[in-house]
A and B are shown apart, each in its own frame.
Chain A
């Protein structure tokens, strides 16, 4: 089945530690995205990538890092510099045309809790 997979579903981290969230897709999509959701808020863009070996900062990139070494994979590292890392993280992918991204497909999300 084609789709986008995030792991793990739940993640606990001690304050001061880096942690990496996995996102893999087999939809052959060029574009991939990471979003963060906090209670009562919408999806805020952390980083996105249009193509392998390229990525751009979104609106809230501080304290996060990404890589795009393979088309299928777009891991997100939450570093110790991120002041409020506890949140729900969603990964998405899409193709794109001259009218921008086509419909995005989402993973199931990772809920990160800093303890």
Chain B
């Protein structure tokens, strides 16, 4: 079983704080790393798909970096807002198009 790990499990921050989460994965035979946001009562939605070592992607106040050699990705949120409250999932895409998810980081932003 591929092991995709995320930390922390949960995070409580104040509005305006910047925060970051980690996704760790096996560095061998890497294909792609996905980030998703899953808000309560909604379906998960893709934030980023990254395939190259050193990739950096940005969408508004959210950005992500990728290090395939050491097997980790960081997701950053600058100036957190209450609407950023969600579970953030990373997933590892593989050769057979398997998509394996980590356990997620639950972010709660207090106004």
- What residues of chain A have their CB less than 8 Å away from a CB belonging to chain B? 31, 33, 35, 41-45, 48, 50, 56, 58-59, 90, 92, 94, 96, 99-109
Partner of B94 from A42, A44, A100 at Cβ < 8 Å = A100
Bound complex: CA A23 to CA B83 (Å): 29
Across the interface, which residues of A come within 8 angstroms of B103, CB to CB?
A: 41-42
Chain B residue at smallest Cβ distance from A51:
B97
Instruction: Give Cα A43–Cα B104 distance, bound, in whole angstroms.
Output: 9
Residues in B whose Cβ lies below 8 Å from that of A104 = 34, 36, 44, 46, 91, 99
Question: Which B residues form the contact surface with A (CB < 8 A)?
Answer: 1, 6, 31-32, 34, 36, 43-46, 49, 51, 89, 91, 93-104
Q: Which chain B residue shows the least CB distance to A33? A: B99
Residue of A nearest to B44 (CB): A106
B1 and A59 within 8 A (CB): yes
If A42-B101, A50-B97, A94-B99 touch, whether A102 touches B43 (CB-CB below 8 Å) is no
- The chain A residue with its CB closest to the CB of B90 is A42
Q: Is the CB of B101 within 8 A of A108?
A: no
Question: In angstroms, how far is the closest chain B Cβ from the Cβ of A47?
Answer: 11
In the complex, what residues of B have CB within 8 A of residue A92's CB? Answer: 44, 99
In the assembled complex, which residues on chain A have CB atoms less than 8 Å from the CB atom of B51? 99
Partner of B99, one of A41, A101, A108: A101
Min distance, Cβ A28 to any Cβ of chain B, angstroms: 16
Nearest 7 pairs of A and B residues by beta carbon: A100-B93, A103-B46, A42-B103, A100-B31, A106-B43, A43-B101, A99-B51
